[in-house]
């Protein structure tokens, strides 16, 4: 898959997401692994973000996923940190452990090291929790570490915006 996505740049996506969440009276949380807080950072770059952005969890290690988000360690052992099951549990944990009604979670292999045949560099699992429903998706982005992380932020925000508009 290609890491270039049509549509808005990240600040424009954040503005649209902010407007949508504020109109709905919803708060947002993030649960980030491979992006290390970049999604939360993009959100809080916008002045007034405290009106719609509730908190961000940076759960880079497996232990952090368990301690901060309540991800069952057995899920990580069985499926690996970069998996649909863990992305789902991260999104659910972000909502459960915050005052937010919507959340996005990302766990992936940004590279340049850490990839495998089954999960090559650029593989990212996403989880979005909106209205009590969780959606997951696996994507693979091309490029170096910075490109993979930037594409992950953009895709996470664009999809959350799309899901909150439904």
Taking only the tens place, the pLDDT of each residue in 25-70 is 999 999 999 999 999 999 999 999 999 999 999 999 999 999 999 9
pLDDT at residue 5, as a whole number: 44
Residue 104 contacts residue 39 (beta carbons within 8 Å): yes
Question: What are 32's strand-pairing partners?
Answer: 58, 106
**pLDDT range class, residue 1, cuts 50, 70, 90:** very low
Cα 48 to Cα 149: distance, rounded to the nearest angstrom = 25
Cα 3 to Cα 148: distance, rounded to the nearest angstrom = 7
Of residues 38, 9, 55, 45, the one with CA closest to residue 110? 38
Residue 3, pLDDT above cutoff 70: no
Q: What percent of the chain has pLDDT over 70?
A: 95
Q: What percent of the chain has pLDDT over 90?
A: 93
pLDDT at residue 6, as a whole number: 46
pLDDT at residue 4, as a whole number: 44
96-127, pLDDT tens digit by residue?
Answer: 999 999 999 999 999 999 999 999 999 999 99
**pLDDT range class, residue 8, cuts 50, 70, 90:** low
pLDDT at residue 17, as a whole number: 98
Q: SS3 for 19?
A: helix
- 0.75 exceeded by pTM: yes
Please name the residues in contact with 130: beta carbons below 8 A apart, sequence gap of 6 or more. 101, 102, 160, 163, 164, 166
Residue 7 contacts residue 158 (beta carbons within 8 Å): yes
Of residues 136, 104, 110, the one with CA closest to residue 123? 110
Distance spanning both ends of the chain, measured CA to CA: 25
Quick one: tokens of 95? 């909502």
Q: Which whole number is the average pLDDT over 151-166?
A: 95
């Amino acid at each position: 898959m290609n890491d270039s996505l049509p549509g808005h740049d990240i600040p424009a996506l954040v503005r649209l997401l902010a407007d949508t969440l504020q109109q709905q009276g919803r708060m947002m949380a993030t649960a980030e692994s491979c992006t290390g807080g970049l999604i939360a950072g993009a959100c809080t770059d916008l002045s007034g973000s405290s009106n719609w952005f509730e908190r961000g969890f940076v759960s880079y290690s497996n232990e952090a996923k368990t301690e901060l988000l309540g991800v069952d360690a057995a899920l990580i052992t069985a499926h690996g940190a970069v998996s649909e099951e863990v992305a789902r549990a991260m999104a659910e944990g972000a909502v459960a452990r915050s005052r937010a009604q919507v959340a996005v979670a990302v766990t992936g292999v940004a590279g340049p090291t850490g990839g495998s045949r089954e999960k090559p560099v650029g593989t990212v699992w996403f989880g979005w929790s909106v209205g009590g429903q969780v959606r997951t998706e696996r994507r693979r982005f091309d490029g170096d570490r910075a490109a993979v992380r930037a594409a992950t932020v953009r895709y996470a925000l664009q999809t959350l915006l799309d899901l909150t508009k439904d």
